[in-house]
Every structure is written in structure tokens, then in C-alpha cells.
A and B are shown apart, each in its own frame.
Chain A
Amino acid sequence: MSSGTPTIGTAPHQKAADRLSAAPARGLASSRFADPRLRAGLFAAGLAALLVTPAFGLNNSALLLLSTVFMWIGLTSSWNIISGFTGYVDFGHGVFFGIGGYTAGLLVTHVDMPFWYTVPLAPVAGLVFALLVGYPLLRLRGVYFSIAMLGAFMAMRELALVFRDFTGGSGGIIFKAVIDRTLFYYVFLGIAVAVVLGTVWLRRSQLGSSMLAVRENEIGAEARGINTTAVKLTAFCVSGAITALIGSLWAYQTAFIDPAIMFRDILLINLALMVTLGGLGTVWGPALGATVFILLRETLWGTEGEDFLLFFGVALIVVVLVLPKGIVGSLADRAHLARARRAGKEDGR
């Protein structure tokens, strides 16, 4: 292919290129919040506060609640990579959570491996499974892929039940209990921060942009030289590996796993709800959706008792009606529109 060097008047376009360079990374909110230094500062301050929080004598239930929020931030952000960025909505993503948990459980019980040694192997198992399943299934599109993944999820749950000599079946696997809420607080905080920062970086990278191109128009992306199979498979593998890692850590924290726990339907529903609430395909939406969802659920559970699901359902319906692209997606759209109007006024358009 011929050179990528511009042949028509390069120099005047250097400034234009600088001006445009910020455009791909542009995200949400007002121009003030769009300042990357301010965002980095806010993020660092928030992280510092979370790092010192356990030192202020939080009780175990508060630590568990925060750990749960962090875990879901990791899960939703990783699900968002395949479902939000590439547009391949994975309704069976919980299969990776189960694979992670069972990888750890089987290695601990059958090989006598210390748990922490299994931690790097869980994402590898998730990655291998993603490769094996993703290569054929990512040829399907739309709802067909979603249903096929749901099938994979259910099949793996059945396998975990049927091969009881190996997996323990419905009797499950018991880990040596580690009751250290502070440890898991920091572990899941680390996971959440790593996955969110990874998503920020991915969105700025050309790989991330390629994923969005696949979502927007797969045939068009392929015509632009993007190997869409490789891009989809990469997204699926990364997403699956992270979820498997989180699954293994959650299994260890829970100290007991069985197919009903590790392959839970509710995990699939919660993932979809949280990400839809925060903003599918956005960088910060899944994290925000997970946080709002868990805190809202806990609050309503505390105040409304058994009726909390009713209030919770109504609250979710209202949010989806008012903010159809989720909190972050809708706010970003409004900010974009406002910016375009301002620019139009300035240009006298």
C-alpha cells in the first residue's frame, strides 16, 4: 500500500491534527469536567479515600458491601468490553464467572494447589474457553449470539452438576475459609481500579476504537481494513478472562461453591441491568451503574424490606425512560448536543 504520508499540504494540518487528537477520547459532561487533569485529580482523590477507608474502623458488613460494589464494577466493566464496545450482547457471560470459580476450586481440591497460585490460572481458563467458544459463536450476530451464549452458560452448569466425581456436583467444593474482609476489600478494589483504568486506556487505543467500529457497522469496519474476527475475539477473550479472575476470587471469599452458586441466572440479569442503567458502551457507565444499583438495592432492602423489588423495578423503569442510553450515555449525548449548539452560535450558524 502506498505511503500514509500526506501529499497535499501537510504543514497547515499539523495544528488541525493536534486540535482533533482530543476528539476520540472525548467523553461525557461539561467542558469543565472534560478537563483530563481535573478528572485524573478527582479519580486519584476518590481512590485515596477508598484506600484509607478500612482504617476508619468500618464493620465487616460495610466492608462486604463495598467489596461487592467493587466486584460488580469489575464484572460490569469487563462485560461492557464485549457487549458494549463490540455490540455482541453476551447473555451467558456468567459462564466465565463459573469457570473461574471452578478452576480455583478444582485445582485446590484435586491438585492441592494453594489458592493464590490458582489466581493467574483462572483467567487463563476463561481465555481458553473464550477462544474455543468465541471462534464459532462470534460468527452469529445479534440475538442469535446472545442466545447461543446463554446455551453455553446452561450447558456448563449442567456439566458441573453431572460430573460430580470431578466437580463435587450439587454437593459443591469447600475452600479453607478465609474470613478477612479487609483483604477482600483491597483485592476487589484493586480489580475494580485495574479494570476501569484498563477500559479508559482501551477506549483511547485503536483496538478499542476498532471494537466500536464493529459495533457500529461490522461490514463497514471490515471494508476499512479492520479484521473484525480478530477484534471480536480479542474483546471476548479479555472480557472472559477478567470475569473468570473475579469468579475465582469470589469463590475463595465465599469459601463454598456449587453449580447453583457459580452459574447463577441472576448474575446475567444483574449485569445487563447495571450496565444498561449506567450506559452500555461507555467507559464509566458500567462502574456507575454497578455502584448505583448495589447501593440502591441495599438502601431499598433496608427501608422497604420484602417490597424493595417493587420500588427497585419502578426506579429502574423511570431511569431507562428518562435516560435511554443510561446515565453516562444520556448525559454525554446532552453535553455533545449543548457543545454543538454553542459551536453553532459561535460560528453564527
Chain B
Amino acid sequence: MTALLMAEGVTCRFGGLVALDAVDFHVGEGEIVGLIGPNGSGKSTLLSCLSAGRRADAGRIRLSGRDITRRRPSTVARMGLTRTFQDARVFGELTVTENVLLSRDWTRLPSFGLLRPPERAARERAAMLLDLVGLGGLAGEKAGSLSGGQQRLLELVMAMMPGPKVVMLDEATSGVNPALIAELSQHLRLLHREERVSFVIVEHNVGFVFGMADRIVVLQQGRVLAEGPPAEVKSNQEVIDAYLGA
């Protein structure tokens, strides 16, 4: 499998605390990678470094072979790496549709596109994605009026809107009811199949992530503790001791 996203020796410090210590991480084309670990193990920090939200103190990150280590987050997003956040970052005062349209593929703007309303192709894609996750009926509502679970679905749609290569989901099931989690898995599988997008799923919901991922990476204290297929990681004694429990 070709590595689409490749991070080598990524180190990130918060003052004296080493949040990530020379972490190597990669995501293949069309792969779903689960990233798990105890609280404070560096999962979200790794996501921030990969998406350029936080600048790595050392190491190199490449997307499709292009160095993105020192790019700004918007550039990385335009290059095809999008993400969701632990606290869904939707634009509350804007409608659901506007939220999705603002997450468009900005590299494919028609001439003077910024000065015009979104073109038909973008509107169609927004409508299609919203219908796909069952938010089509709420398209005209303000995003801030949606429930927490709906906002997470909306953020997923926003991350998918530009047709990215890699989507990173930061605790997508947190605060979402079990019925909606099952729905979310279905949506992710459908999007994965239809859009051929790679996913990085950061999760504490072990059942969800082991059910979704092709490969699991376990972080502990800023280092990779274990890595491999879900069944293998599940039976790894070090992972059981450090995170999964008996």
C-alpha cells in the first residue's frame, strides 16, 4: 500500500513536557487507521501536528510526497488533509448548508469565484453529502441549533466536502448516542467506499475503532507502543496492560 501521509520522527513539546517523542506514523491510500491510547498519550497532539494546527518541534510530515511540515492549516486542508475536532467546530450562526459550502475545495474555484455565490457543482455536492448523512432536512437551519451528535455529523460532512485524500476524526463518537454511533459507522464505511478516502480515527470507543480500522496504532506517553491489525493489537499484552485492560 502506498503511503499517502507519512510522518517521520515527529516531536512536539509543551515547555518541559514531551507530548510526542520522535513518532513515526503513516497512512496508506484508502486505509483506515485507528489511533488509540490513554488520555495524555499524544493522540490529539499528533493530529494537530499532522494537520499543521501545531508546528512540530522536530520531524518531517509529507502528504502525497510533498512536505507539509511548515505549511499553514488552510494550505494542508487544500492539499487534501482535513479533520474534525474533539469539540465540533461548526459555524454556529451560519446555516448547515453554508457550513458545508465553506468547506469546499478552494483549489477548484471558478474565475472570480470568491466574489460569487457557490457554483452549482459545489451546491450539488453539499446537498448530496448532507442527504447522505441524513442532514438534508436541516440544511436551512443554523448549525448552532443542531444537537451535539448532529454537529459531529455536520463536521464529518464538512471534512468530506472538498474531496480530501485523508480525513482525520478526533473522537467522533464522543457524546454521541449509541444509535447514532452505529449510523456514523455506516456513513464512514459508505464514504470510505465511494470516495476512496483514507481515515485516521482517534477514539476512546474501542469497539468502534477496532470495528472500523484496518490498522491500529497505540500511543503511550508520546511514543508508539504497538502497531498492527486490530486482532493483533487487541491481544498484545503491552497494549492490554497500558490501555485496554483485562
Contacting pair B115 A207 (CB below 8 A): yes
Contacting pair B89 A21 (CB below 8 A): no
Contacting pair A6 B124 (CB below 8 A): yes
Contacting pair A4 B136 (CB below 8 A): no
Contacting pair B140 A206 (CB below 8 A): no
Contacting pair B101 A206 (CB below 8 A): yes
Q: How far is the CA of A9 from the CA of B124 in the complex (A)?
A: 10
From the candidates A10, A225, A281, name the one contacting B77 in the complex (CB within 8 A): A225
Check: A220 CB closer than 8 A to any chain B CB.
yes
Contacting pair B72 A216 (CB below 8 A): no
Interchain nearest-CB distance for A170 vs B (Å): 43
Contacting pair B128 A225 (CB below 8 A): no
Closest to A228 in B: B74
Q: How far is the CA of A336 from the CA of B163 in the complex (A)?
A: 31
B113 contacts across to A, CB distance below 8 A: 206
| Mask: chain B, 81-123; 1 = CB below 8 Å from A; 0 = not | 0110100011111110110011111111100011111101111
Contacting pair B53 A219 (CB below 8 A): yes
Contacting pair B82 A205 (CB below 8 A): no
| Known contacts A6-B128, A20-B127, A209 near B74 by CB under 8 Å | no
Contacting pair B80 A212 (CB below 8 A): no
Interchain nearest-CB distance for A218 vs B (Å): 10
From the candidates B78, B118, B142, name the one contacting A336 in the complex (CB within 8 A): B142
Closest to B132 in A: A8
From the candidates B72, B92, B115, B139, name the one contacting A20 in the complex (CB within 8 A): B139
Check: A26 CB closer than 8 A to any chain B CB.
yes
Q: How far is the CA of A204 from the CA of B130 in the complex (A)?
A: 21
Instruction: Describe A's contact surface by its main secondary structure.
Output: helix
Contacting pair B94 A216 (CB below 8 A): yes
A321 contacts across to B, CB distance below 8 A: none
Q: How far is the CA of A26 from the CA of B118 in the complex (A)?
A: 14
B115 contacts across to A, CB distance below 8 A: 201, 205-207
B127 contacts across to A, CB distance below 8 A: 13, 16-17, 19-20
A21 contacts across to B, CB distance below 8 A: 117-118, 123
Contacting pair B97 A1 (CB below 8 A): no
Check: B241 CB closer than 8 A to any chain A CB.
no
Contacting pair B128 A205 (CB below 8 A): no
Contacting pair A225 B78 (CB below 8 A): yes
| Mask: chain B, 127-161; 1 = CB below 8 Å from A; 0 = not | 11111100011011110010000000000001000
Contacting pair A225 B74 (CB below 8 A): yes
Check: B34 CB closer than 8 A to any chain A CB.
no
| Mask: chain A, 8-31; 1 = CB below 8 Å from B; 0 = not | 111011101111110111100000
Contacting pair A205 B93 (CB below 8 A): no
From the candidates A201, A213, A336, A347, name the one contacting B91 in the complex (CB within 8 A): A213
From the candidates B77, B102, B194, B196, name the one contacting A213 in the complex (CB within 8 A): B102
A215 contacts across to B, CB distance below 8 A: 93
From the candidates A4, A20, A217, name the one contacting B104 in the complex (CB within 8 A): A4
From the candidates B108, B140, B142, name the one contacting A4 in the complex (CB within 8 A): B108
Contacting pair A212 B89 (CB below 8 A): no
Contacting pair A209 B101 (CB below 8 A): yes
| Mask: chain B, 52-83; 1 = CB below 8 Å from A; 0 = not | 01000000000000000000111101111011
B230 contacts across to A, CB distance below 8 A: none
B158 contacts across to A, CB distance below 8 A: 224
5 further A-B contacts with Cβ under 8 Å, apart from A18-B123, A24-B98, are A3-B108, A17-B120, A216-B91, A217-B90, A228-B74
Listed in ascending order, the chain B residues whose CB lies under 8 Å from chain A are 51, 53, 72-75, 77-80, 82-83, 85, 89-95, 97-98, 101-109, 113-118, 120-132, 136-137, 139-142, 145, 158, 162-165, 190, 194-196
What are 18 A-B residue pairs whose CB atoms fall within 8 Å in the complex? A1-B165, A2-B80, A3-B163, A4-B162, A6-B129, A7-B194, A7-B195, A8-B195, A23-B139, A23-B140, A24-B98, A201-B115, A207-B114, A213-B94, A219-B53, A224-B158, A227-B75, A336-B142
Q: Which 4 A-B pairs have the closest CB atoms?
A: A220-B89, A16-B127, A216-B91, A17-B123
